[in-house]
């Protein structure tokens, strides 16, 4: 593939701008400066360096973010910064989308991609991909609350009870709750219906993929092939 097309596909701007990057010797391919935007390169195991920053080639983008509080999961945020502001410009330029939403004050694992099939598979209620949340509660958690969440609780605007796929107390005020759907404020409303209150909420897993302990809050990273395999299970 021609270098200018590679750069364009990775989100480094228009084809014209990508040519200028090459002419200005701001692009290296696998460590070697290349000023010819028409030069052809195989994309397998290719690493670009643009303005001194390494950028491995990805035909499709799959990434995770450890979402901090205070950010909206929207391309057009209204009251707080959008989560896309936490991603580098090339990822925003190539049009990655957050998969599903977390409330502004909810933290934790959030996926992004520009692969429509993957976005649908991970985000559509049809597939019921399980999500695990860690809720910090105002009041101590007791066995009756856990039992109610597993049996199903009736929310104000619903006609049938909603049950957690799994639920366990991970501490006196810490609840791990697994859901197969994502209704508005669902965890908070379910915990309230069970007689408690959520003080803080964090998503710690999607499917078999858990939030890495070494991924700092507000930081992102590419999903590895092993990560993707966990999501496909």
Q: Chain-wide mean pLDDT for the chain?
A: 95
pLDDT at 182: 80
Tell whether 138 and 109 lie within a shared domain.
Answer: no
Please give the model's pTM, rounded to 2 decimal places. 0.94
Tell whether 144 and 76 lie within a shared domain.
Answer: no
Tell whether 52 and 77 lie within a shared domain.
Answer: no
Tell whether 149 and 116 lie within a shared domain.
Answer: no
Query: Taking a C-beta distance cutoff of 8 angstroms, is the pair 214, 188 a contact?
Result: no
pLDDT at 128: 85
Structure confidence by residue, pLDDT tens digits, 83-96: 999 999 999 999 99
Tell whether 217 and 110 lie within a shared domain.
Answer: yes
Tell whether 113 and 149 lie within a shared domain.
Answer: no
Both structure tokens of 16: 């014209």
CATH number, domain with residue 89: 3.30.70.580
pLDDT at 224: 96
Tell whether 105 and 202 lie within a shared domain.
Answer: no
Structure confidence by residue, pLDDT tens digits, 139-172: 999 999 999 999 999 998 888 999 999 999 999 9
Average pLDDT over residues 35-52: 96
Tell whether 137 and 199 lie within a shared domain.
Answer: yes
Tell whether 195 and 219 lie within a shared domain.
Answer: no
Tell whether 80 and 182 lie within a shared domain.
Answer: no
* Residue 214 CB neighbour total at 10 angstroms: 7
Structure confidence by residue, pLDDT tens digits, 100-113: 999 999 999 999 99
Average pLDDT over residues 123-128: 86
CATH number, domain with residue 7: 3.10.290.10
* Residue 181 CB neighbour total at 10 angstroms: 13
Tell whether 51 and 68 lie within a shared domain.
Answer: no
Structure confidence by residue, pLDDT tens digits, 164-222: 999 999 999 999 999 998 888 999 999 999 999 999 999 999 999 999 999 999 999 99
Which of residues 19, 37, 56 is at a domain's end? Answer: 56
Which of residues 34, 56, 78 is at a domain's end? Answer: 56
How many percent of the chain have pLDDT more than 70?
A: 100
Average pLDDT over residues 218-229: 97
Q: Which residues are catalytic, by number?
A: 103
For residue 233, pLDDT over 80 is answered with no
**Overall number of domains in the chain:** 3
Which of residues 39, 56, 73 is at a domain's end? Answer: 56
Buried-exposed string 125-161: b where 16+ CB fall within 10 A, e elsewhere: eeeebbbbbbbebeeebeeebbebbbeebebeeeeee
Q: Report CA torsion sign: 94, 98, 99, 100.
A: negative
The whole domain housing 154 covers 130-206
pLDDT at 91: 97
Average pLDDT over residues 20-30: 97
CATH number, domain with residue 173: 3.30.70.1560
pLDDT at 136: 98
Tell whether 30 and 84 lie within a shared domain.
Answer: no
């Amino acid at each position: 593939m021609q270098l200018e097309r590679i750069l364009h596909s990775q989100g480094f701007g228009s084809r014209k701008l990508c040519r200028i990057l090459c002419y200005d010797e701001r692009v290296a391919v696998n460590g070697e400066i290349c000023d010819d935007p028409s030069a052809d390169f195989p994309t397998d195991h290719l690493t670009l360096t643009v303005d001194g920053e390494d950028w491995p080639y990805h035909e499709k983008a799959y990434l995770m973010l450890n979402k901090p509080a205070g950010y909206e999961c929207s391309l057009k945020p209204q009251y707080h910064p959008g989560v896309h502001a936490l991603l580098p410009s090339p990822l925003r330029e190539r049009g990655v989308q957050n998969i599903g939403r977390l409330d502004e004050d909810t933290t934790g694992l959030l996926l992004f991609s520009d692969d429509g099939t993957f976005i649908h598979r991970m985000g559509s209620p049809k597939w019921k991909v399980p999500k695990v949340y860690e809720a910090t509660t105002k009041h101590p958690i007791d066995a009756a609350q856990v039992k109610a969440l597993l049996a199903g609780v009736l929310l104000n605007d619903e006609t049938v009870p909603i049950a957690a796929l799994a639920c366990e107390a991970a501490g006196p005020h810490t609840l791990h709750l697994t859901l197969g759907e994502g209704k508005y404020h669902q965890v908070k409303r379910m915990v309230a219906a069970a007689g408690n209150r959520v003080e803080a909420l964090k998503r710690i897993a999607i499917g078999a993929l858990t939030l890495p302990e070494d991924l700092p809050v507000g930081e992102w990273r590419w999903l590895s092939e092993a990560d993707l395999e966990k999501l496909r299970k």
